[in-house]
Amino acid sequence: MELVSMKRLVSLLMALALLCGLSSCSADERAERLSAGWTEALLTAPGVIDARSSYHITLGMSQGGMVQITMQPGDRTPEEVMANSMRALAPLLIKNGRRSAGLNYSLVVEGSETLVYPEILGIDSRPSLQTIINYAAENPAP
């Protein structure tokens, strides 16, 4: 390969590496903003006393995340708190373009080792964003 072609190739590879690096940075920042908004929304749900969420975006590949909420025992039933949390989260999920992304979603009853999953509401234990949106639409707050 001649020297000029080699320089062009190296320049092209460096530009691609820079572009990929910048894109993943913005994807990470977007995922962090989404997650922070989710946590804030979850904390407004009746019965939720603590919430954690995370989201990841792998450009061109996958998206997904985790939601874990905590409730106090005796306040409300786990079903009520799980449903309330999904209703609080749904409006933010509508804005997400990748509604097929799944979430590991769980509820912890404070002071116990009990984990409750969305199956308690009759939906998958790892619901898609669209499933949560649908659930909230079909089951409005009483």
Q: What is the pLDDT of residue 23?
A: 43
pTM, rounded to two decimals:
0.77
Give backbone dihedrals phi and psi of 7, rounded to 5 degrees, phi first: -65, -40
| 81, 69 Cβ separation under 8 angstroms | yes
The model's pLDDT over 82-95, given as tens digits with 9 standing for 90+, comes to: 999 999 999 998 87
Question: Is pLDDT at 80 greater than 70 in this prediction?
Answer: yes
Nearest to 68 by CA among 84, 54, 47: 54
Q: What is the pLDDT of residue 136?
A: 97
Burial-class residue 18 by CB neighbours within 10 Å (0-12, 13-18, 19+): exposed
